[in-house]
Structure 1
Amino acid sequence: MDYFSHFKIWVLTLSLIFQSVYGFYLPGSYPHKYNVGEALSVKVNSITSIDTEMPFSYYSLPFCQPQDGVKDSAENLGELLMGDRIENSPYRFKMHVNESEIFLCRTEPLSADNYKLLKKRIDEMYQVNLILDNLPAIRYTRKESYLLRWTGYPVGIKVQDTYYVFNHLKFTVLVHKYEEANVARVMGTGDAAEVIPTIGNEGSDIPGYMVVGFEVVPCNFMHNVQSVKNSKMYDKYPSPIKCDPTTVAMPIKENEPIVFTYEVTFEESDIKWPSRWDAYLKMEGSKVHWFSIMNSLMVITFLAGIVLVIFLRTVRRDLTRYEELDKEAQAQMNEELSGWKLVVGDVFRAPTNASLLCVMVGDGVQILGMAVVTILFAALGFMSPASRGTLITGMLIFYMILGIAAGYVAVRLWRTIGCGDHKRWISVSWRAACFFPGIAFFILTILNFLLWGSHSTGAIPFSLFVILILLWFCISVPLTLIGGLWGKGTPY
């Protein structure tokens, strides 16, 4: 049997193994099959703004709440540190069932505080972020001949000192038919996936769909407040609703309620499930500025070339000069050395703050290693946007684990410099473990106290940061000391 046949057998075997565990998808998410009429849960994230960079809870504003109450979704450490607060929403969809003019709720009359808060959030350009099947809601706007993409939609808009809240949402859910063969190609490897048998897929004849897009169009509609006074959530709105995003009709007023409605339309799309994030990667804020990157690289290369030329010319001139001198002339100049030979004394002279140098080098290696490993894992797809918070969580985990490298490098450099007292390696390890986190703790503590003073929920990020510091102390410090002990035992 030739090598190619052996290779095909190995590929088929590995494919069958992956199929036996229902496959493996690298970015951290997997296709979900929804049958026709099955309920889809829409979630809400924190409202955000590019103006203030301060996230707030969606339900901090007078919006409609779910019938069964507000419930937090499971979050990881990265989501909490980034300010994400994912909760359930009152919006209710059914797969491939179009619905229009759905009454959501009629809020209580706006108090003076809620009225001022709404106007403030509109002035600060806050955006509402909705999530369906892990996909953020995307909004399209046209500027001249360009089609712009945005995540979320504005809370409202201000027109000539009058404030309007977007009280009607037009949703469009893009779906793709669920096919076992397509899912196998996503999960499997190449041609071998086509021959993988279907295992444990009862009811596969029932038509199902995957969510591949989630779009929203916000509108302001003139609702009849009195006509829905006795309506219940999800009842039919008594009159037709025309969603026109270019016009506003119903301003918010103090001591008056707000009526919220929505509609949803399902459209079959040719977008494949692995490509459903492509629209988000094409947004204006997500574009990679290659021209700026290339420009910076060219400037750095040019400056590095200038420094290298100056350095080579200086060294070559000094070496040529010393070669021309005979032994007698060199003997006469032993007491008056200059030029390149003076560098020898500077290179092997111990620095004034040797311990600080060792600590900074050790922490630099730790941070550089964290960056390299994080970028590598992100490039391989383990930290995709489909898994929120994994990037920050991964950075923290890698930073704590690489405390071993920080302790080793710091103590090893301390022994190499030869500062006399080699017994201070424990002190160097402690400083390496506390130097950078101490600076971060000092700065972030001040910021958290300022946040606590300006906003009542500031206690949440402050308590979270205290927990994070305790976690760092219990993991990073012992690992750094272990690395220092390893560096101490290395011969020099």
Structure 2
Amino acid sequence: MIFYCMFLLVQKVFVSAAISEIFNVVLKERTRDLYQVNMILDNLPVMRFANQNGLKVQWTGFPIGYSPSKSEDVYIIDHLKFRVFIHKYEGMSVQIFGTGEEGFPCSVKYDPEKMAKIHQYDEVPSVNCPMDLENSQVIREYERVSFTYEVEFVKSDIKWPSRWDAYLKMDGAPVHWFSILNSLMVIFFLAGIVFVIFLRTVRRDLTRYEELDKESQAQMNEELSRWKLVVGDVFREPNNSKLLRVMIGDGVQILGMALVTLVFASLGFMSPASRGMLLTGMIILYLLLGAGAGYAGVYLWRIIKGTSEGWRSMCWSIACFFPGVVFVILIALNFILWGNNSSGAIPISLYFMLLSLWFCISVPLTLIRGYLGTRAEPLTYPVRTNQIAREIPERKYPSWLLVLGEYINGELGFINKKGLGHGCVGPVDWLGFKRPRWDGEM
């Protein structure tokens, strides 16, 4: 019926119940605090429109309720009108896609006796949003409130790739660039002062320590305390150093991909209007930044080992560790989707495409940059490393005990005397509250 009609109108009741004493207080507090409800339909935020001074203003979300300036009562939004724009594609088969949604919230006072006879999701007659307060639903203790919604499907010429255009034209809040730059300058200035003071102090102590002979160093070690006790063990090769270098190399690759993606997305090159562009850009950037991963891993290998032998196996480990883990997880999840005959399963051709991109772009770049990392001059340590590692005393208390104590300390702040917080009471999910067990009352 949607295919041939201009629009289809459906109105149903969501829930009907009485407002309890606790929920009455919560609703009034949330309304006065200007709480908003944001809804998503077909992966698109529901949009509202209003005319202000001859201009058409659009934004997302609607308030829980409102409190008129000349009245002490608080009114709740209990009726929503949705206008869903659909576009029909005709080809081998007719396909319908949602290309936009609009929401019109209002407050309607229903007859409690009539609504008590109607069950959830039953159809009700269409209503017009009242403009006067007498026909609006007031928030009052033990007042019965009925939440209803109305859906109107309208044909639209907006195509699927262009459905985000209306959202991109929304005027957001102005960016206070001066305040941001001012805060950043203060942060960098203070951090620079602290770093310079710390660097000069440590460098002076290390220089004085290096100028002493062995006898003086042995005598001085007896007088040293705190970080100076481990100055000869700071740059010692750690256990599982190869895994550390692999993780650092993959971390450089992932961090570089995230930063470049954020920059391009902020500049508008990866718009949500182009479906899949963000994911495609992330994959391409990850493949290209394999060069940075190979260079970082091999360069750290030379610093720790002091030689470039074994850099090829290091590059292969960096190129295959993280993507291999992701591929194993992806294959396992895809087998589950295939077993359930899900339409979201990835086709086998896409696997071969990703593997070809992986071995033809990412792996060669990792090996090439790894080779260049072997030619780079390694860093030299500012202090000598002792041949014998310093003995580390045993811990008096296990480390997990400290974590458990912090967890308990943080959780106690969220526990109420009755076991429930104010935000956990309420029967309506779309108001932003948690739904308790239904007992017929709010």
TM-score band, normalised by shorter chain: 0.3 to 0.5
Question: TM-score under structure 1 normalisation?
Answer: 0.42
